Every structure is written in structure tokens, then in C-alpha cells.
Amino acid sequence: MTEIPERADVVVIGAGIVGNSVCHHLAELGWRDIVLVEKGPLPDPGGSTGHASNFIFPVDHSREITALTTDSMRQYEKLGTLVTSGGVEVAREPQRVEELKRRMASARAWGVEAELIAPRRVAELVPFVDPDILLAGFWTPSVAVVDPLRAGALMREQAIADGALTVSANTEVTGIRTDRGRVRAVCTDAGDVETPVVVVACGVWSPRIASLAGAEIPLTPAVHQMMDVGPIPEFEATGTAIAYPIVRDMDALMYERQSGADLEIGSYAHRPILHEPDDIPSLESAALSPTQLPFTSDDFDPQLEQALELFGSILDRPDAGVRHAINGLLSFTPDGAPVLGPCPDVDGLWSAAAVWIKEGPGVGRMLAEWLTHGDCEYDMHGADIARFYPHQRTREHVRARANEGFNKTYGIVHPREQWESSRGRKLSPFHTREREAEAVFFEVGGWERPHWYASNRGLLDEFGDRVTHRPHEWDARWWSPIVEAEHLALRSRAAMIDLTAFAQFDVRGPGALDYLQRMTVAQLDRPVGRLCYTPVLTPGGGFRSDLTVVRLAEDHFRVITGGADGARDRFWFESHLPADGSASLVDVTSAVCTLGLWGPRARDVLAATTEDDVSGDALPFGTARWIDVDGIPVLALRVSYVGDLGWELHAPFEHGQALWDAIAGAGEPHGIVPAGIGVYGTTGRLEKGYRLMGAELDGEYDPVEAGLALPKVKAADFIGKDAYLAAREGTPAATLCTLTVDDHIGADGIARYPQSGEPIVTTAGERIVDREGRGSVVTSAGPAPSLGDYLLMAYLPPEFAVEGTSLQVEYMAERYPVTVARAGRTPLFDPEDTRMKA
């Protein structure tokens, strides 16, 4: 047996597919002195990798997940551990047929070959299926079965052959030593290993191992039931593990696949069965393996009937018995996405958890790049462990959301769908008033934000034909025509918008300016009172964030960023604070409430509440000043994300309701309305061509492509500067464009409205791909009520990024004509910004 080394550059804990892959890719990137510690035996240590069903359907609605999956498939194939079987997702219900059409759009968007097929064709591909109960199928020829244990073993062997890796199996981690918030050593029953970096790739045990270092990895072990029924002579005759395409019976939330002589049936339909990492049985006491728990047959019984319906021809036989059945454990997170990257709680501790077999090798590659370069090829913001706010890492929240999310695994999830559990966690001080105004709340980062106000229904009459009513239920779901009416009220009078969900950080100290200059693209060395909108870049020059920085004093800045990304931004800024203590960062999110006030009457409204001069001369666009609003100290920021005259009014949290009442009262004679985030984040923003982090902006696009490069480059160095300069020198591979939908009427005569995520194709129906291999996809979609248009944003390669170019958008398996209305950032509405700068 190999002795465990006393020192390592990195210790990876867990030899499942993820840990093995991380080791392999670190070795490829030149790391040496890698130690892999595994408590179980090799090659199957008893984690989820050992019992997973191992099939891969590449298409997901998420670009990030699809990229990880297709990258993983390439790696499995290269290792000779992939067998292509093809796979078909079948629909029993009409709404699932619609969902399969939506999957077609995602397949096209990400460049995966797929086809919608009729039930008869399904039965040709999988002869044992009863086509009479089916309505359609979504056929993906590249669906494959992989061998993650073998792939992992090969990855280890390569790293060992490179002289980069020492593997210590049957070795239990007993502690992770930290010192002043930094990882120092991994303690095991075979000895201690000093190391500056620890990667937790422990699957369902990850929370327990991370807690040894005082860190949290928010996931919960959950049961996925599966059984093998056989022998099936037709399968036996094939002499292989998989000769027929895999079937996902989507409406039954189940899958069926050949597994040698058996049909394997897996289910995501049963009640959520959550476990605790500490309660997973030990290797010794588990009958099968620690993650293969005893099958609870009552939970599976309803699925038996559905399996018999679809596969009766081979299951309803006296010789076909249930030969193996388990409650397999896998990891569920609050939002269903993996948990990757540096843990915010402890320096040097990295999470590589909540990863499916289909993503394992890709995650290993991304994590190795991230560890080596500080960022990676694919944008990982949806999987970043830093995305969770503290309350989202609690056991209660994790379990509540995992409980709710489990049955969404094969569910039809609307892109705007809201969670029902663990709500009401963060309430702005305006909440009481918002409830009185019948707000419909959406959640961001735990905050309850009004998306629109039902009490504004009267505006629908006022604005009549200018408001679009979406006739199709799917398009109208989680949306209201009231949003458009609120928008028009803002544009014609004034509206107040709750923006308390903003994350806000106060940065102070003699080194504050230098520090922030290093973090951002824009020149922040401006007079006190100026505010700057600036990109924040990754080392590779992609978007890490975009935010506003206000200079409140020579050595005092406030950073204001979106609620969705506040936790990630805070971690990014905190982890780059100067080591000499010359700048400090305090998160003041909980101390500040923010009320947006915009519209042509905004100045009249604000002036009625304050004796301070709020004229354009005293408080011009792009400036900030403390004013008194009805006796409340308010930091007024002359800025707008909706492109109209007005302010963000920042006040001490406890004054919030009084501020609301003051503005509402002063606004009443002017016809002010409360407006929701539907206006702020969609309609107002899109008309003005403003970009949204996580939609248009992410690590895979740079400021030149996004149209957000600044006229001048500041002298100060900043993260991503080299790449930024290079991007400015070259021609962009794609340019962010705004498109109008020319005709909404589909084949059945009903007007349809794309929701984002759809591919943009040529008039001939060809997929559009830029020279970097990135497909053109709708990043945001929504109405522009002031223009009377419906807008889409998408990155287009130079040959298509020409205003007036005719293209098509593919939505629900139909194509709709669109026109490039704007290439670049100039807004379609009020292009000179005269309203905003009034």
C-alpha cells in the first residue's frame, strides 16, 4: 500500500467520478503532488458513482449544464467508456408535447442533434414500447451509456503515470486543519497531509467533510429509486449491456433502459425521501453499499403500473422478476444545480459536489482550470457555491427546496416558475404597503419582490390596446399584462419600484480607491458624488459582474449590485481585499432599503417631499447626494435602469415605510403607481437595451461583444485588463443585438411570445454559430410597450449583426420572422437618453 505523503499541493477527497476527474485535469494542467484520499475501496468506493444508472441525455435547458454534459461525453468517449445507445423522451400528455418542442429549441440552441418523432417511430426504435399511450417522442441519437468507474480508474492511472498523483484508498478523513481561515492540512487515519488546497468531491458526504473545516456545502442526500426486472430474453439475446435506446417516460417521471438482460426502471416520481449525511450507514454495515439503501416498495408501487403500461410486452411475464431494487442516494441542492468552486467560508477549500454522472468529467475539467487560472472556459455562475446567501445554506432551506425540487427532476418547469417553499425569508420595509397593493411576489436571493401589483388592474383599461394580452397559457404563465400597463404609467407619469434586494457594500480606507480600481473596468477616480456603472471582469476578460459604484467620500465608496448575484459578488470582492488591510468591506445590504422613483413626473414628486434642490443642475445625471425626504436622510442616486428621469432613493432600512408613504403621498396628485420588477427587469430595461448579468452578461462574453466597452481605458491595472485590451484590438466574434419579432402568429393562428433560450436561425432555418463556436440564442425577451414591439436580445456574428437583417426565432418547434433592430448598445427607446438626462 502507498504511504500517504506528508505534504501535497492539493488534496482531493473522494474518488468518485468527480474526484478522479479533478485529479486528472489538475495533472494535465501541470499540477504535481496531488493526493487523492478515499475512505472506501477502489475502484468502487461505495458512493453514488457506483450505483448510478450512467446514461446521458445531453440536452438541458441550461447552457451551462449542457456544456458540462457534452464536454463530459467527449471525455468518456476519449477514454473508451461511452456506448452510444440513443434515447427518446416520450410524452403521454399534451402539455409534455409542448415541453418536448421546447426541448427541441434547446437542442438547436446548444447544437445537439435531436428530432421530434411520432409514437410509431418510437416503437420502431424501442420495439417493446406501447405506442398507443404516447403522443410524441423527442429523439436524441447521441444519448449514451458510460462507465464512470472505469473512466475514473483510467483518469487516476494517467495522473499516476504522469507522476502527479498519489492515491490513498481505505483512508478516512478525520479532520481538516485550518489556521486563520485558511486550509492547512487534511488529517486522516493514515496520517496528516499538509496542503494549501483541499477539494471536497465527496458526493452525498460533502456537507460532513466540509464541516470538518467549518464550511457549509448546501446539499442533501436524497433517494432515487431504481429496480432491475429480468431476465428479458430479447435483451439477453443482444449479448450487450445496451442495444436499445433509453426511454424517459417523462410524464410518469421515470426512465426505462436495457441493462444487460434486465430492464432497469428508475423513478423521480416518488415522494421526496431526504437523508442526513451523518445518517448514511458505514461501508461495513451497509447490505449493498452506503448509498444503496433498502428499497421501500410502497413508494415505488404507483410507478410499477406505469412501467407496465409502457413496457407491458416484456414486463408482464411470469419469468421477469424484480432482481434488484434500491433506494439509491444522490445529492440534491436548493436549486438543483451543482455546488462548485471555492467555499466562501474557508480559504483553500473547494467544493466539487452535487454533480451527476453526465457532468462529472466536465466539472473536473472546469474545476481544474478554475483552480489553476481563477476562471474556466464555461461560465459557471449557476453552479458557483458562492451563489448562496447565508440563509440559503441552512439545513432548513436546503431540505425545503430539495423536497420541492425533487419531483421537478423530470417535471415541466417554466423559466419564470417560482418556488413555494422557504418563502418570505427577506422582506423589504415596503412589504406591508406592497401587500396592501396586492403585489404578486417573485423571489430573488430570498427577497420577496413585487413583480406586478394586481391593484393596478385599472391601468389595463387606461392603456387599452397598447397592452398585449398573451393568448397562450404557457406564454402568459408567471406574467401579467399589468406589467405593460405599469410600464406605460411610468413612461407617462411616474412609478415607484422596490429595489431593496440590491446587495450593497461599503468600501472604505486609504486603499479603497486602488482596490476598487483593480476590481473594475471603469475609471473610479472621479469626484465625490459621482457614480459609475462598470463591468467587473474575470481574469479571462469575461463578465464576472456589472454594477454601480458611488464615491461617497475620498476614501469611501458604495458598491451596488443585483440581488441575484449579491452573494457571488460579495465573495469576489471580499476575497480580493488587499492583504495590508488598507481597505475594508462591509455588507450594508441589510441596513439600506432602496426605492426607485422614475417617470416624467418624478422630479415633481421628489421636489414635493424635500426642501433640497433636486433640479438637473443641482443633481445631474450620474451623481449622488444626500437629501432629506420628509425628514428621512436619503442617498439619492440619479441613475436609471428603465431609462427615465428619476432616482434610486437609498434610505436607512427602518425609515423604509415612511419613505414609501412620503413618495406615494407626494405622487398621488401626479398619478404615481407602484410598479414591479417586470417593468424594471424586463420591459423598461429591454426598451433601453440594458444588459442583465446572467442573461446577456456572463464569463463567456466580453465587454466589446456586449457593447459595454468604455471609450477610454484607465491607466490603472484591473482584473481581466489584458484580455479586455486584446478584445478591443480585435474584431468581436459576436455582437449583442436587439431584435424585433415581426410576426407572432403561429401555425394554429395563435400569437406566441418567445421567453428566452430560443435559437436565432437564418431565414433558411440554419443555426447561427460564431467563430468561437457559440450559438446565437435569445438571452432576454419581452415587450417594449412604449415602442409597440416585442424585443429579443441575442449575440450575433458580424455578418448577421447588421441592422435590418432578417432572421428567424425558433420557438416551440415553429419559426417566427425577426429583424435586427439594433446592433450594439444604443437604446431603441429614446436613443439620445433625453428623458433620463432631463
Partner 1 sequence: MDIVVCIKRVPAFGAQVPLTDDGSAVDTRHLGFTIGPHEECAVEEAVRLASAHGGRVTVLSVGPEEAGEQLRYALAMGAHQGVLVDTGTTDLDPEATATAVLAGLADEPEPDLVLFGDASADAGHGQVGIRVALARDLPVVGGITGLEIDTGGSLRATRESPSGTELFRVPMPAAVAVKEGLNLPRYPTLPGRLKAKKAELRTVTCDPEPGGLHTVGLRRPADDRAGAVPLGRGAGAAPAVVDVLAELGKV
Active site residues: 224, 255, 546
Grid coordinates representing 530 are 459621482
Q: Are 398 and 353 in contact (CB under 8 A)?
A: no
5 — alpha (psi -120 to 50), left (phi > 0) or beta? beta
Q: CB of residue 207 vs partner 1: minimum separation in angstroms?
A: 17
Q: CB of residue 150 vs partner 1: minimum separation in angstroms?
A: 16
Q: What is the DSSP letter of 167?
A: E
Q: Which residues contact 770 (CB under 8 A, 6 or more apart)?
A: 733, 734, 776, 795, 796, 797
Query: d(Cα 476, Cα 478) in Å, to the nearest integer?
Result: 6
Amino acid at 790: Y
Helix and strand element counts for the chain (H, E) = 22, 40
Grid coordinates representing 347 are 480559504
Axis-axis angle for helices 148-161, 360-373 (nearest 10): 30
Whole-Å CA distances, 52 to 222, 227, 329, 336, 522: 13, 12, 9, 17, 48
Axis-axis angle for helices 63-78, 360-373 (nearest 10): 100
| HSE-up (13 A, CA, CB side) for residue 160 | 12
Grid coordinates representing 802 are 447588421
Query: d(Cα 558, Cα 516) in Å, to the nearest integer?
Result: 10
Grid coordinates representing 296 are 421501500
Q: CB of residue 297 vs partner 1: minimum separation in angstroms?
A: 7
Query: d(Cα 283, Cα 571) in Å, to the nearest integer?
Result: 37
The owner of cell 449544464 is 65
Q: CB of residue 316 vs partner 1: minimum separation in angstroms?
A: 6
Q: Are 48 and 259 in contact (CB under 8 A)?
A: no
Grid coordinates representing 579 are 492583504
The CA R_g of the chain, rounded to the nearest whole Å, is: 28
Amino acid at 226: M
776 alpha carbon, distance to own chain's centre: 19
Query: Cα dihedral sign for 56, 62, 65, 69?
Result: positive
Q: CB of residue 742 vs partner 1: minimum separation in angstroms?
A: 53
Q: CB of residue 303 vs partner 1: minimum separation in angstroms?
A: 10
φ and ψ at residue 100, rounded to 5 degrees? -65, -35
Query: What percentage of the chain's residues is helix, strand, coil (to nearest 5)?
Result: 30, 30, 40
Question: Would you tell me which residues interact with partner 1 (CB under 8 A)?
Answer: 1, 41, 170, 229, 279-288, 293-297, 301, 304-305, 307-308, 315-323
Q: CB of residue 45 vs partner 1: minimum separation in angstroms?
A: 13
Select 323 or 391, whichever has its Cβ closest to partner 1.
323
φ and ψ at residue 673, rounded to 5 degrees? -130, 150
Q: Are 161 and 113 in contact (CB under 8 A)?
A: no
Q: CB of residue 321 vs partner 1: minimum separation in angstroms?
A: 2
Q: CB of residue 291 vs partner 1: minimum separation in angstroms?
A: 12
User: Strand, helix or coil at 421?
Assistant: coil
Q: CB of residue 285 vs partner 1: minimum separation in angstroms?
A: 4
The owner of cell 500517504 is 4
Q: CB of residue 249 vs partner 1: minimum separation in angstroms?
A: 15
Q: CB of residue 293 vs partner 1: minimum separation in angstroms?
A: 7
Q: Are 214 and 206 in contact (CB under 8 A)?
A: no
Strand positions, DSSP E, 616-718? 624-629, 632-637, 646-652, 673-674
Q: Which residues contact 67 (CB under 8 A, 6 or more apart)?
A: 110, 362, 378
DSSP assignment string, 329-356: EEEE-TTSS-EEEE-SSSBTEEEEES--
Dihedral angle, C-alpha 417, 701, 826, 725, nearest 10 °:
150
Q: Are 724 and 703 in contact (CB under 8 A)?
A: yes
Select 312 or 336, whichever has its Cβ closest to partner 1.
312
Query: d(Cα 440, Cα 345) in Å, to the nearest integer?
Result: 35
